[in-house]
Amino acid sequence: MKDTTLSKLGGTCSILAGVTLIVAAVVYLLLPPDQQDAAGIPPGRFLASLAHNSTLSMVFYSILALYSLVGIAAVLAISASVRAVHDGWVRWTSTLAIIGFAVNAVDWLRRLALDPARAAAYVQGDAAVKAALTVPGALQGLDPQAWFRFGVVGFWVLVVSLLALRSGMWPKLLASLGVAVAITYWLIVASNLLQIQLFTAIVAGVGGVILLPIWYIWLGLRLRQAG
């Protein structure tokens, strides 16, 4: 008898990944403008605003950490669904994607733990403390250019989508959507490298609110049905 537990669990987690991205986007729009640091807010303004009220930011960080954790289960199930086409490529890229999601989870959990303390230290500190907390790169995460968080995850999405497209295991529209998702991931990395904050925000908005949720939820429903 075929074991369908991975399809069921991974399908559920894939749906959750899509839903959490949508919820995260809504929460992001509700954040105070000075806490939407993706738009290039100066660190001092960000920390001062966070010290005043950090509740929504902490919710935002928690949602993205949850997205990363359920994303790992989604990677396992989605990869298993196309592994028969090319086991080597799927195993390698899925491992890279799991590392990427793990880095993302650690990054958001780290910010959840440290940002309130940084904000409090900033508003209570003297000029030297303020300068130390706002030097270039002081608030950057573990993967500032997003090579792991987006780059390798996009590589995995591209590989499984092309394998599914070649084999006909997924609908052509779903596989093509996966290619578009992969391009979105890489555009985020490119915009980070070029330090084009506005472009990063636009690409992340289109990808995170529209393309990624549709791809994850659609695949999750297929996996649940297969299970």
- Predicted TM-score of the model (pTM): 0.90
Give exposure, 208-227, as e/b (b: 16+ Cβ within 10 Å): bbebbbbbbbbbbebbbeeb
Q: Is the pLDDT of residue 196 over 80?
A: no
Tell me how far the alpha carbon of residue 127 is from its chain's centroid: 35
Q: How does pLDDT run across 98-157, given as a tens digit for each residue?
A: 999 999 999 999 999 999 999 999 989 888 888 888 887 777 788 888 899 999 999 999
